[in-house]
């Protein structure tokens, strides 16, 4: 969406218009910019004919449109218009203040994106919980992106958000801010499952080894010790977070 210079809920015709404009500029060696480039907050963007075409292709299917929309801005209300004017002027704090005045699908989504830009995972997670755990909010968000006529499954949208975010910043950074039980369990599984899989893989390798069994067993024992230590740390960290969450309640 950023590459195409649009909001995640911008009409398809606007995306195509921007696409055609960029192609025309790029063919003569000129650069084109859009307000949503947001160079004051994000890394510079390098547009090429290939990257622009690829970006448009990635937004063909509703599922893909929705997944990319999880981490981009949406404009749905007059309040959003006012907030974006401040954002484009380099006044993110003022934009966030405006979005905080009214909690709705678009204000929560835009606060999530701003919080992630600032690496404020606490704020991002709180807003995400209010967005995805509220049926009205999440339905409005989905309808804005893919339309109201479809039968898009919103049940696992929150977990898709968590999975992608964990892949980018790491589950360890997110877990301390998770208060929702189902989210917490999902994060914990994301932390532990790869370690369990690697331990099982090491055991399977040891069982299949022939010939240099002693050397293999020694190496596997060493690897398993390291993997078990990581596993133990992950479980301990989750247990500590659980304990603090209980004490806070």
The predicted-structure confidence for 1-59, as pLDDT tens digits, reads as follows 999 999 999 999 999 999 999 999 998 989 899 999 999 999 999 999 999 999 999 99
Averaged pLDDT, 86-112: 98
pLDDT digits (tens, 9 = 90+) for 213-228: 556 656 666 665 565 5
- How crowded is residue 51: how many other Cβ atoms within 10 Å of its Cβ? 14
Q: How far is CA 176 from CA 132, 184, 192, in A?
A: 19, 9, 16
Secondary structure (DSSP) of 37-90: G-TTTS------HHHHHHHHHTTSSHHHHHHHHTTS----SHHHHHHHHHHHTT
Number of residues that this document lists for the chain: 249
Asked whether 168 and 180 are in contact (CB, 8 A), the reply is no
Asked whether 39 and 16 are in contact (CB, 8 A), the reply is no
pLDDT of residue 248: 47
The percent of the chain in helix, strand and coil, each rounded to the nearest 5, is: 70, 0, 30
Asked whether 187 and 174 are in contact (CB, 8 A), the reply is yes
Residue extents of the structural domains in the chain: 12-169, 171-248
Query: Lowest-confidence range among 117-121, 177-181, 232-236?
Result: 232-236
pLDDT of residue 82: 98
CA distance 206 to 215: 10
Helix runs in 118-180, H state only: 121-132, 135-146, 157-169, 171-174
pLDDT of residue 244: 43
pLDDT of residue 154: 80
Can you give the pTM of this predicted structure?
0.79
């Amino acid at each position: 969406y950023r590459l195409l210079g649009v909001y995640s809920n911008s009409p398809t015709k606007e995306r195509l218009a921007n696409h055609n404009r960029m192609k025309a500029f790029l063919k003569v060696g000129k650069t084109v910019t859009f307000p949503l480039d947001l160079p004051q907050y994000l890394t510079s963007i390098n547009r090429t004919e290939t990257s622009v075409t690829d970006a448009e292709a990635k937004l063909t299917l509703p599922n893909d449109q929705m997944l990319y929309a999880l981490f981009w801005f949406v404009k749905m209300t007059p309040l959003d218009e006012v907030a974006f004017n401040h954002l484009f002027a380099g006044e993110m704090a003022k934009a966030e203040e405006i979005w905080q005045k009214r909690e709705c699908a678009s204000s929560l989504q835009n606060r999530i994106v701003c919080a992630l830009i600032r690496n404020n995972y606490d704020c991002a997670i709180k807003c995400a919980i209010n967005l995805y755990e509220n049926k009205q909010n999440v339905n409005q968000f989905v309808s804005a992106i893919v339309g109201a006529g479809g039968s898009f499954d919103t049940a696992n949208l929150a977990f898709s958000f968590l999975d992608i975010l964990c892949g980018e910043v790491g589950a360890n950074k997110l877990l301390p801010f998770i208060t929702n039980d189902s989210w917490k369990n999902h994060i914990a599984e994301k932390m532990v499952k790869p370690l369990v899989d690697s331990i099982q893989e090491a055991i399977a390798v040891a069982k299949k080894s022939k010939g240099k069994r002693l050397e293999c067993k020694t190496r596997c024992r060493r690897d398993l010790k390291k993997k078990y230590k990581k596993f133990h740390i992950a479980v301990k960290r989750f247990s500590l977070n659980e304990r603090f969450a209980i004490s806070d309640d």
